[in-house]
Chains A and B, each alone.
Chain A
Amino acid sequence: MLDTIGERQLLDWQFQWRRTLEGYLRRLADNGVTRQSLDWPQSWHWDWRAKIDEVRGLLGHTGYSVVCRDVTQGMMRLDLASRMARIDDQMGKPLVYVDYLEIAPWNWNEPYADPPLYRGIGQLLIRTAIQRSFDEGFHGRVGLHSLPQAVTFYERCGFINLGANPNEYRGLLPYFEITTDRAKTFL
């Protein structure tokens, strides 16, 4: 686990993740899966270089990456400053907000994809976000908006689904939050 997303990670994304993703999207298209389908990966358009450039030098943002056999297997961007907890018991208190979390396409466990090369990368990143929350004095509180395809994953991690707000992300992304007790259980 690296406590940064560096140039090497961005090159892995640019040349390895995207090549695998393109192959996977072609396979989906060959099987009649369209961009509107629920099986189409909802993060397919994410541009990690732009996401990192956007917050470069800002103290309130940080990134983590998982590297295995010299290749980046997952990345996560965190916001440590501008989001507050929403669950009643911890309302208004600071938390670690997961801006973006993605694993390398060859680790996806999805229809028409090859079996994942590595499992547990997403959980490892969530564990890191929770640990960072404890380290910051935020008592394990973590929040995020989930892509619909990832809802089950965050529920399995112990996050509470607070539903979608029509004023955020066009009402398409449900908001999830984990409490201190649940965070401890997860760790």
Chain B
Amino acid sequence: MSKKTMTLNLTEAEMSALEALCAKKDLSKTGLMRQALRLYQMIDTRVERGGKLYFEDDQTREKSEIMML
């Protein structure tokens, strides 16, 4: 599969968050961005189909909806 290269301009804070997530998830920067894109596309598609995105508290079962605008 052919691959394309791009330059990403990030602020200091964004780069720090990216590096922290890479360390936490044991992924390269490319790997992390790829995962982020896959997830974002999946969520966007599901929401477009009429789905809703929730976080549910494991203990209380309380749900909070994430609004995708």
Contacts and interface: CB of A to CB of B under 8 A. Distances in A.
Contacts, number: 35
B25 interface: yes
Classify chain A's interface size.
10 to 19
B57 interface: no
Contacts of B41: 58-60
A92 B42 contact: no
B58 to A, nearest CB: 9
A137 B42 contact: no
A59 B45 CA distance: 11
A37 interface: no
B42 to A, nearest CB: 5
Classify chain B's interface size.
10 to 19
29 contacts: A58-B41, A58-B45, A59-B37, A59-B38, A59-B41, A59-B42, A60-B38, A60-B39, A60-B41, A60-B42, A80-B35, A80-B38, A81-B35, A81-B38, A81-B39, A81-B42, A82-B39, A82-B42, A92-B24, A92-B25, A93-B25, A94-B25, A94-B26, A94-B35, A136-B31, A137-B27, A137-B28, A137-B31, A139-B26
Given A57-B45, A94-B25, A137-B27, 14 more contacts: A58-B45, A59-B37, A59-B38, A59-B41, A59-B42, A60-B38, A60-B42, A92-B24, A94-B26, A94-B27, A94-B35, A137-B26, A137-B28, A137-B31
